[in-house]
């Protein structure tokens, strides 16, 4: 079994790289990290999150038994769940950055400082796609903060410190180096672009700080690669460049992070594709389709183009492209370097948010049907981008599910596209509302899940 718990970013060398030097003597090697720890550790906090789960009501359980058979074990009354992680104070106003998975599905959050003060915290913004969240301390005072550093300036071999609360034993500092940059294919979040470190990171370190030798935050510890659940020297952190994007969204009052929309589908370039399009090695991303009303189409991007770089920063796969493109924001334009017909050319793509067209027109199903407890919305580029599904003209999309609702119990998932109900194709959420209100004991559902279309029958 493999576990995950964190590190940080990538980038091209900055001016600071010129100041690095191999230690000249034994005394330099024996220098202490204590001054850096003293200036930063007070800003690393413990995050405690809890929620109470309530038993499904008897009526819902009876409905479930009648139509869909027995489900899993019901939740005992008053049962609570809790999580423990770390966080970093990044603003004297009380803003704390942590991992989304630390507070996911939690309602009550408390933050404990290194000096043993405790604060209640409000969840200001959750961003599951980057696995980051922003908290706001209530009535903050006399807070130590960490300045955000430049993860783009990191180099493999740089010394870093990891600060957090592993296994809940209390604040702990470990030291290591940057082992690798721009790690993708890790399987942690939608925007995979991690800093890898050998600084000891363990469960409970999630959301803690990865600090450079200037005492600045360069990453948020997120995951470890491990067969046992403990540290084996392979940890991953989210780069401070992405932290800055999420933090700025929270400071601007947003409840979610709005990312730029390309309006094209991409895939990785393997050796065979690279050879066929004239690349000396597999690099970049291949454009497999272009949405006819999006920024990519407006910029002249075509199917078969290979995108090699975003604003001069090379990309090796769709994860790398998504990361680089997200950092550009949603204003102005950004240059893309592409390969077309064996020649490299530059084009400029407008940085725009995905459009809400048609409008979502959400419908929460409350009638007696298999979709009870599901919130459905109309498909649009914004919905497709948010749920990370392909744009399709078919059906409506499950945008949210009540945990204790019938829809969740029978296996519906967020992102499912409901194409038809009882043989009638859906064109909007109005159709869902009309068809589910009819009731009945027999339901035939046609579903598109991740490009696979299937029909299931639910009923007596």
The CA R_g of the chain, rounded to the nearest whole Å, is 24
Q: How would DSSP label each residue in 2-45?
A: -B-----------GGGGG-----SHHHHT--SHHHHHHHGGGEE
Residues in CB range of 311: below 8 A, 6 or more apart: 324, 328, 334, 335
Question: In this structure, what token pair is assigned to residue 133?
Answer: 């969240």
Q: Are 330 and 323 a contacting pair, CB within 8 Å?
A: no
Q: What are phi and psi of 295, to 5 degrees?
A: -60, -35
Catalytic residue among 83, 86, 127, 131: 131
Catalytic residue among 41, 83, 206, 241: 206
- Grouping H, G, I as helix, E, B as strand and the rest as coil, residue 395 is coil
Residues in CB range of 133: below 8 A, 6 or more apart: 97, 98, 99, 100, 102, 103, 123, 125, 126, 127
- 131 is known as an active-site residue: yes
Question: In this structure, what token pair is assigned to residue 172?
Answer: 């702990």
- 32 is known as an active-site residue: no
- Grouping H, G, I as helix, E, B as strand and the rest as coil, residue 243 is helix
Bin 447: left if φ > 0, else alpha if -120 < ψ < 50, else beta.
beta
d(CA 243, CA 187): 19
d(CA 264, CA 289): 6
Our CA angle for 180, 182, 187, nearest 5°, is 100
What letter would DSSP give residue 148?
Answer: B
Q: Which positions are catalytic?
A: 101, 131, 206
């Amino acid at each position: 079994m493999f576990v995950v718990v964190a590190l940080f970013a990538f980038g091209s060398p900055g001016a600071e790289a010129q100041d690095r030097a191999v230690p000249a003597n034994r005394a330099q090697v024996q220098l202490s990290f204590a001054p850096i720890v003293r200036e930063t550790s007070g800003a690393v906090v413990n995050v405690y999150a809890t929620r109470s789960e309530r038993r499904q009501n008897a009526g819902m359980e009876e409905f479930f038994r009648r139509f869909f058979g027995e489900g899993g074990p019901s939740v005992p009354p008053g049962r609570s769940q809790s999580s423990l992680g770390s966080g970093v104070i990044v603003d004297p106003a009380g803003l704390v950055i942590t991992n989304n998975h630390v507070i996911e599905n939690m309602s009550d959050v408390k933050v404990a400082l290194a000096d043993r003060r405790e604060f209640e915290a409000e969840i200001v913004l959750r961003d599951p796609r980057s696995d980051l969240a922003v908290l706001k301390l209530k009535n903050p005072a006399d807070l130590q903060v960490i300045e955000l550093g430049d993860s783009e300036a990191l180099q493999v071999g740089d010394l870093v410190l990891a600060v957090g609360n592993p296994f809940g034993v209390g604040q702990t500092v470990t030291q290591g180096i940057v082992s690798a940059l721009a790690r993708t294919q890790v399987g942690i979040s939608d925007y995979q672009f991690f800093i890898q470190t050998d600084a000891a990171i363990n469960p409970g370190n999630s959301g803690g700080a990865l600090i450079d030798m200037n005492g600045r935050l360069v990453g948020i510890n997120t995951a470890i690669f491990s067969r046992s659940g403990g540290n084996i020297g392979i940890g991953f952190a989210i780069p401070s460049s992405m932290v800055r994007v999420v933090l700025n969204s929270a400071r601007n009052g947003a409840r979610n992070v709005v990312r730029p929309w390309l309006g094209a589908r991409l895939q990785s370039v393997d050796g065979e594709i690279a050879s066929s399009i004239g690349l000396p090695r597999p690099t970049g991303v291949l454009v497999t389709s272009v949405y006819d009303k999006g920024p990519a189409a407006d910029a002249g991007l075509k199917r078969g183009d290979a995108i090699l770089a975003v604003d001069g920063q090379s990309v090796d796969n769709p994860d790398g492209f998504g990361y680089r493109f997200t950092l550009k924001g949603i204003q102005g334009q950004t240059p893309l370097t592409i390969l077309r017909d064996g020649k490299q050319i530059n084009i400029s793509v407008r940085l725009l948010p995905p459009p809400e067209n048609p409008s979502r027109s959400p419908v929460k199903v409350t009638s007696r049907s298999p979709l009870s407890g599901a919130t459905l919305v109309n498909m649009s580029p914004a919905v497709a981008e948010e749920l990370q599904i392909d744009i399709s003209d078919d059906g409506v999309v499950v945008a949210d599910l009540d945990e204790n609702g019938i829809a969740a119990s029978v296996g519906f998932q967020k992102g499912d596209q409901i194409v038809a109900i009882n043989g009638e194709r859906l064109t909007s959420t109005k159709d869902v509302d009309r068809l589910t209100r009819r009731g009945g004991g027999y339901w035939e559902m046609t579903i598109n899940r991740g490009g696979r279309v299937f029909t299931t029958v639910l009923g007596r």
